[in-house]
Structure 1
Amino acid sequence: MTPEILKSIKVWSQFIHPILMWVLLALTVYALYLGMKVRKTRSAQGDEKKELIKGKFNLKHYQVGSLLLALMVVGAVGAMGATYINSGKLFVNPHLIVGLSMTGMIAVSASLSPLMQKGSDWARSTHIALNLVLMGLFAWQAITGIGIIKNVISRM
């Protein structure tokens, strides 16, 4: 590869993480919707329950959650890698600390799935609580990320 191509890749790699994270924020909202449908299915009765079961919301919620877990871990590691490649260091700031905390939270939340499948109410409540906090932090990260993108653009 030519030096111009490598420089271009280096510069544009900084925008993969923010784009991915906005997509993940939207997927998180969709996972919340699916989770609410799963909860409604659990409490429904009769024909309503039969109709909700046909939607396979539990399977969709599990699949979207698995995708979120994988992409969040890859996105966090990729962002740190791109920052290091472009700056020669990591900037330890609230955005990084919260992002790493979120990555841990989503891993813990996902790890509760086997217990929830066995009917554990405490695991389900913990899963819901973690994901609600995660969603709030995700929104905060999106806002602080805009400032970081502005900073990156101003240095271009």
Structure 2
Amino acid sequence: MTLELSPAVKYWLNFFHPLMMWVLLALSLYAAYLGLQVQRTRNAQGEEKKELIKGKFNVKHYQIGSILLALMVAGAVGGMAVTYINNGKLFVGPHLLAGLGMTSLIAFSASLSPFMQKGANWARVTHILLNFVILGLFTWQAITGVQIVQRILTNA
């Protein structure tokens, strides 16, 4: 049994991954903001610390991070699936390789959570460094992704 999608469905599927990734980039920036607030809360003292604790930045950061992990993995797999459905192959190049790298890095970053919860400073530093690398790659991915979408629109 083969599943054949209509040309219109195949065409519009091309835009799901880029839209999802732009939303995830914005969500990543928000997660970075929350992470910085967690660090600020950890370093604060007295009344300032009491005020910052009310923001529950640690809980929000953890929740947004979990959503990011799930959606980035789903988005990466989905992007590859749509490319394969529409072209019968994957285009192995910098965009794909950086995307796979980002997906691996976010999984590794998330896996540090139990160590951070136990107070391991090395895990916090590694988590922060990995996430800034991911943000840098993500920004570059967004730019190269726009170029890919432009090619799709030109060839339509």
Q: Does TM, scored on the shorter chain, surpass 0.5?
A: yes
1:76-115 alignment runs, 5 A limit = 76-115=76-115
With normalisation by structure 1, the TM-score equals 0.96
CA-CA distance at 1:77 after TM superposition: 0.2
**Matched AA of 1:46:** G
Report Cα offsets for 1:89-128 as digits up to 9, x if no partner: 0000000000000000000000000000000000000000
Distance 1:6 1:47 in 2: 61
- Alignment match, 1:34: 34
Match of 1:72 in 2: 72
* Pairs within 5 Å for 1:37-56: 37-56=37-56
Gaps of at least 5 residues in structure 1 are none
Q: Deviations over 1:118-142 (max 9, x none)?
A: 0000000000000000000000000
Q: Which amino acid aligns with 2:31?
A: A
Distance 2:66 2:14 in 1: 25
One-letter amino acid of the counterpart of residue 30, structure 2: Y
CA distance in 2, matches of 1:36, 1:112: 17
Runs of 4+ in 1 over 4 A off after TM superposition: none
C-alpha deviation, 1:7, in angstroms: 2.1
3-state DSSP class of the match of 1:91? coil
TM-score by length of 2: 0.96
Partner of 1:18: 18
Question: What's the CA shift for 1:6?
Answer: 2.5
Identity of aligned residues (%): 64
Q: How many residues align?
A: 154
Letter in 2 for 1:16: F
Please, which runs of 5 or more residues in structure 2 have no aligned partner?
none
Partners of 1:6 and 1:75 in 2: CA distance: 22
- Per the TM alignment, residue 9 of structure 1 is displaced from its structure 2 partner at its CA by 1.4
C-alpha distance in 1 between matches for 2:59 and 2:6: 42
